[in-house]
Amino acid sequence: MKKNDNFRITNLGDPKIISPIHLSKTIGDSIFNFVEDTDRILADVKLKNLHSSLEHDVIPDSYERSGPREKIFFKGENTTAAIVTCGGLCPGINNVIRSLVMALHYFYGVKRIVGIPYGYEGLNPEVGHDFIELTPDKVKDIHEFGGTILGSSRGGQDVSVMVDTLVNNKIDILFAIGGDGTLKGANAIGTEILNRGLKIAVTGIPKTIDNDIDIIDKSFGFETSFDVACPIVRDAHNEADGAYNGMAIVKLMGRDSGFIAASTALSMPVVNFVLVPEMDFELEGENGFLENLKKRLNSKKHAVIVVAEGAGQHLFKNDEATTDASGNIQHKDIGILLKEKIKAYFDAIDMKTTIKYIDPSYIIRSAPANANDSLYCNHLAYHAVHGAMAGKTNFVVASVNNRFVYLPIADVTKKRKKINMEGGFWFGALQSTGQPFSMK
C-alpha cells in the first residue's frame, strides 16, 4: 500500500521520559491504556470511500488519536508553560484555562504556568504587559464566569519578537486559545521555533463561537451560543405574536458561517426565516424574501426572522469593505438594513406592521459555558496537555467524527468551514422554518 503522510504531527524529538501518569498497556485490566502515536482515526467514515482507497492501494487519510503517551518529552518539574487567549470572547475560555492549569500541575507536576495578558500583545515586551502567574488556587473558580481572566486582543505581532520573548522567559510550551487568525499566528510561531532549532512546543485549542474551523466537529462555546440565543428568540417570538403583523428580527453571530443562526432555528422552532452567509437570496421579486414574508404575515399575522451577521452582505452594493485588526472583513449591519427594507416595503403597500430588532451578540459572547461546553472544554484541555508534554508541536486538538484527535494547525486553517447548502443540517433548518428552499 502507498504511504500516506497527510495530517502528520510534528515532534520536537524522541520522547524518552517515563510518564508520571500511571496508566496501563493491558486491555481488560480496567485501567485506561496509554495511546500510541500509531493509533489513528479514519478521516472519512463513508464505507464507499474506504473501499475506493483499498481498491487503489492507498492508505486512507487518518488523524492521530489524542491522549496520554507512555513516554513524554518534557520533565514536569523543569517545564514552564504559557497560555494565551486571542480574538473575540467566547463561552468556555476560562474553563479551558482552568483545565490546562490543573492538568499541567496535577498530571505532570509542572511547577510554573504563566498567562500571557491581552493576546499576542503580551508577547511583545514593548507593549508592557506583565505575565500572570497561574496556580490551581488562582484558577479554581474561574469556570463559573464568562470572558477570559487573561484578557484578549486582535491582531498579530512580530513573530520573531514573540519567539524571543518565549526564549527569554524560558517558556517550554505555549498554549494558544483562539480562532483562525490565532491559530495561524500559533503556526507561524511554531514554525519560527522549528527553524531556529528550539525545543518549544506550540499547541492550539480552537476557539471560535461561529464554529467555522475546518475539519473539526465543533469548536468550544458554539453550543452555549445557541443555548443562550434560544430563550432570546423565544421572547422575540412572544413580542412578534403579541402584535398584529408583528415581526421580530434577531441578529446572531456568524461572520462567514451561519451555524449559530441555523442551530438556533432548529433548537427553537418558532423561527420562520433563517438567513445565513452561505445562502444567496434576494429581497425583491415574486420569490424574494419580502414577498415570502408578506405571505407569512397574511397567513399567521406574525413572523420571527433570525439572521447571521454576515448574511446578505451583497445587499450593501456601494459600501467599501473595511477590516478589523485581525484582517477580518467588518460586515455592515444586516439587521438594521432588513428592518429598514421591511418597513419601507410594507409602508409602500399600506400594510400596518410592528417590527422589533434585537442584537444579543455581546451578551451571548460573554456568557459562561453550559454543561456540555464545559465538558468539551475539559476534554480539549486535557488532550492538549498530553500532546504538548509528549513533545508534539504545531497541532490543534479537536473532536473529529466524535473522536479526540491531533491535527496539524496548517490543515485546519486552509479554509473556513461553512454550511453545506445541500446537506442534511441545512435541510433540517429549512424544514423547521418552513421557508422556501430558494428566495431568488
Could you list the active site residues? 210
Consult the annotation and say whether 116 binds a ligand.
no
Which DSSP letter does residue 20 get?
A: S
122 is in an annotated binding site: no
DSSP 154-223: -S---HHHHHHHHHHTT--EEEEEESHHHHHHHHHHHHHHHHTT---EEEEEE--TT--BSSSS--TTHH
Known binding residue 373? Answer is no
Does residue 254 have a known ligand-binding role?
Answer: yes
Buried b (16+ CB within 10 A) or exposed e, 313-345: beeeeeeeeeeeebebeebbebbebbbebbeeb
Question: Do 276 and 311 meet the contact criterion of CB atoms below 8 Å apart?
Answer: yes
The phi-psi region of residue 344 (left if phi > 0; otherwise alpha if psi is between -120 and 50; otherwise beta) is: alpha
Annotation-wise, does 347 bind a ligand? no
Cα torsion 214, 215, 221, 227 to 10°: value is: 100
Cβ atoms of residues 203 and 176 within 8 Å: yes
Q: For residue 154, say whether it is annotated as part of any ligand binding site.
A: yes
d(CA 350, CA 344): 10
Find out whether 363 is annotated in a ligand binding site. yes
How far the first Cα of the chain sits from its last, in Å, is 49
**Quick one: angle between helices 259-267 and 424-433, nearest 10?**
50
242 is in an annotated binding site: no
Those residues whose C-beta lies under 8 Å from the C-beta of residue 160, and which sit 6 or more positions away, are 192
285 is annotated as contributing to ligand binding: no
CA 406 to chain centre: 15
Return the closest-CA partner of residue 416 out of 204, 93, 179. 179
What's the rounded Cα separation, in Å, for the pair 158 and 151?
19
Q: Which three cell numbers stand for residue 131?
A: 505575565
Residue 365 is assigned to a ligand binding site: yes
286 is an annotated ligand-binding site residue: no
Which residue carries 474551523 as its cell? 213
Q: Does the annotation list 354 as a binding residue?
A: no
Q: Is 208 annotated as a binding residue?
A: yes
Say how far apart CA 84 and CA 176 lie, in whole Å.
5
Tell me if 255 is assigned to a ligand binding site: yes
Q: Is 209 annotated as a binding residue?
A: yes
Polymer length in residues for the chain: 440
Residues flagged as binding site for Mg(2+):
180
Residues flagged as binding site:
88, 154-155, 179-182, 208-210, 253-255, 309, 362-365
Residues flagged as binding site for substrate:
208-210, 253-255, 309, 362-365
Residues flagged as binding site for ATP:
88, 154-155, 179-182
